[in-house]
Every structure is written in C-alpha cells, then in structure tokens.
Amino acid sequence: DIQMTQSPSTLSAFVGDRVTITCRASQSISIWLAWYQQKLGKPPKLLMYKTSSLESGVPSRFSGSGSGTEFTLTISSLQPDDFATYYCQQYSTSSPAFGQGTKVEIQ
C-alpha cells in the first residue's frame, strides 16, 4: 500500500502569510493527488485534485504542484477562514490513502 506523509504536522502562521504544506508518497503516484480542508466538526472539503486542479468555488489563493512522490499545497496569503487541518490523498491505486494531516494555526 502507498503511504502518504505530510509535513509539518502543525504550522503556526499570521494572516497574510504565504504557507506551504508538503506531502510525500512512498512510491510514485504520478499526478493523482487531492487536497482537502477540514474544520472542526465538519466533513472534509475538496480543494484540489489531479495535483493542481482547483475545485469549483475554492479561492485562487490555493494552489498545488508536484508529481511523482513530492507535492505541495500553497496558500498565497493566509486568510482567517483558512485556519483548519489539511489532508493530502493519493488516488493512484484502487485503495486511496490520506496523509496524517497538517493543522494550520493562528500565530
């Protein structure tokens, strides 16, 4: 099974900061990666798929890049609504797998 590892686990930042979250796969997943945002008590929300395709309605300050085994999610200017936990998820195989999550906190 493919393992997904995110870093950092927790990130403290200010409103307006540029923020980058890294996701690494244990083997190549090509570009088959999605990102989700989850707020406390809510289901995850799809942000990005196929590494860099923005889901409808998601602000353009979110962007994704990478291929193979290393991927990043970048928030160009952190907004108050962005404080949440972010998960990457591979769908290269028939058994999807999530990273462990990155919590973005207010500094």
Partner 1 sequence: EEQLVESGGVVVQPGGSLRLSCAASGFSVDYYTMHWVRQAPGKGLEWVSLLSWDGVTTRYAASVRGRFAISRDNSRNSLYLQMHSLTTEDTALYFCAKDKQQLLMEHYFDYWGQATLVTVSS
Residues that bind partner 1 (CB under 8 A): 1, 32, 34, 36, 38, 43-44, 46, 49, 55, 87, 89, 91, 94-101
Of 60 and 95, the one with the shorter C-beta distance to partner 1 is: 95
Sign of the dihedral through C-alpha 39, 56, 52, 68? positive
CA distance 25 to 90: 8
Angle at 81 between CA 79 and CA 86, to 5 degrees: 95
CA 68, chain centre distance (Å): 16
User: Shortest distance, CB of residue 77 to partner 1, whole angstroms?
Assistant: 25
User: Shortest distance, CB of residue 89 to partner 1, whole angstroms?
Assistant: 6
Residue 30 region, left (φ>0) first, then alpha (ψ -120 to 50), else beta? left
Of 17 and 55, the one with the shorter C-beta distance to partner 1 is: 55
Of 68 and 96, the one with the shorter C-beta distance to partner 1 is: 96
Of 83 and 98, the one with the shorter C-beta distance to partner 1 is: 98
